[in-house]
Structure 1
Amino acid sequence: MTQHSVFVIGDDQALRDSLLMLLRGEGIRARGFPSATAFLDALPEEKTACVITDLRMPQMEGAELIRHLSRLRGETWPVIVITGHAEVPLAVQLMKAGVVDFIEKPFDPNRILEAVRGCLSALERQEVESEAREEATSRLASLTPRERQVFEALIDGKSNKEIAISLSISPRTVEIFRAKVMQKMQATSLSMLVRMGLRCAEV
């Protein structure tokens, strides 16, 4: 499992250092940046990460940074906002832009850790699902054209008899192809096969 990074962005060095110390003390890999522009100039290459950003910063404010990250990384980089200037309309706007949490200063360190752990857990779930999707897609590619037709019919909920009629083959032949599909897809049940089909459809 990937160890996801947490990037802390803010011009208040004392706050930034305290957050880094808090996170690292919990065994979380964390890096700090003094501004949004400094962060974007040295944009890390990680596919997934968690971002903690202050809202009020010189040059580029947190809201603008969030919009940039939403375009660049989307849900793969969840954002936690810290601010001393709580504004309900802005909070709603930022949540719509993808911010997962909005924390006011002064904050409880446990509140930060809870938010970060929530983000990291979500990223781990995304990673597991992504790996499962890639595996299902790879298995699907191993099917012959006829097996693929039977697979698609099965996940559409069609019975062996319905598949036989639609493909102009015998029910016995459908059973043979169905067994091959289950074997190649490494599915132990029809429900498992359907889940694989749904994952493949998301690619």
Structure 2
Amino acid sequence: MTLGPTPAVHLIDDDDSLRTALGRLFTAAGLKVHSYASATEFLLKREPGIRGCLVVDVRMPGGPGGLELQEALVRQGTDLPLIFITGHGNIPMSVEAIKAGAFDFLTKPVKGEELLGKVRAALEREERQWAATRQRRDLFERFEKLTPSEGKVFRRVVAGLLNKQIADELGCSERTVKAHRSQVMSKMEAASLAELVRMAGEMREPTAE
């Protein structure tokens, strides 16, 4: 399984001194940190397959703020936990951010331990989401190795059909079905029928044609 980019805290704030202070806080806690002076800089410099979480100032003069960045990421399908920090927060703004999927909304001055706790929780959630996505992608990669005939058998096996029923539907012999079924188990790396059914559920593939 590909490990992918290393998860990091992506710190986005126009305040140089705050970026430096928070960067040191995260680094001292053993976290990898990338700092950006604006949302635009982040969007331009971010790497493909970016991982981790974002700590973002809500308002940044001279460019898009945190909420605008959140909207852009949602449109692009980037699903990273966002932690907003602001000195100008209000309840409607925080509600808007949370409804749009923000992980948390903190008001300055933020206590270091509190922020670290939120960041660690956000990174843990991202790790779980990434692992689930990677596992599903791996399943599709295995599925793509099946021949068209094996794919038809796969769908009917996980739907609960017996070999004889599958043979009747596909107009072939049970021996052929058994051979395809063996290849399906091998290529999908499934140790049992129950595991194959679980894989099908995770893939949400149709169970019949």
135, 144, 151: which one pairs with 2:147? 144
Q: Where does residue 47 of structure 1 map in the other structure?
A: 49
Q: Secondary structure at the match of 2:45?
A: coil
Flag structure 2 segments of 5+ consecutive residues without an equivalent.
none
53, 67, 70: which one pairs with 1:66? 70
Q: Where does residue 23 of structure 1 map in the other structure?
A: 26
Give me the whole-angstrom Cα distance separating, in 2, the residues matched to 1:142 and 1:32: 41
Give me the whole-angstrom Cα distance separating, in 2, the residues matched to 1:131 and 1:58: 37
CA drift of 1:178 comes to 2.0
Q: Note the alpha carbon deviations across 1:129-182, whole angstroms, 9 max, x for none.
A: 343333322322232222111101122333434323322345454334322211
Distance 1:157 1:101, change over 3 A: farther
2:122 aligned partner, one-letter code? C
1:67 aligned partner, one-letter code? E
Q: RMSD of the TM alignment (CA)?
A: 2.4
Which shifted more, 6-15 or 191-200?
Answer: 191-200
Runs of 4+ in structure 1 deviating by more than 6 angstroms, as ranges, are none
Distance 1:162 1:95, change over 3 A: farther
Give me the whole-angstrom Cα distance separating, in 2, the residues matched to 1:92 and 1:156: 43
Distance 1:162 1:62, change over 3 A: same
CA drift of 1:55 comes to 1.0
CA drift of 1:89 comes to 2.3
Q: Is the 8 A contact 1:33 1:39 kept in 2?
A: yes
Q: Is the 8 A contact 1:48 1:123 kept in 2?
A: no
State the TM-score, normalized to the length of structure 2.
Answer: 0.81
Give me the whole-angstrom Cα distance separating, in 2, the residues matched to 1:129 and 1:89: 33
Distance 1:34 1:180, change over 3 A: closer
Task: Check if 1:81 corresponds to 2:84.
Answer: yes
Q: Where does residue 163 of structure 1 map in the other structure?
A: 166
9, 14, 17: which one pairs with 2:17? 14
Q: Secondary structure at the match of 2:56?
A: strand
Give me the whole-angstrom Cα distance separating, in 2, the residues matched to 1:170 and 1:58: 71
Structure 1 segment 86-125 matched on structure 2, within 5 A: 86-125=89-128
State the TM-score, normalized to the length of structure 1.
Answer: 0.83
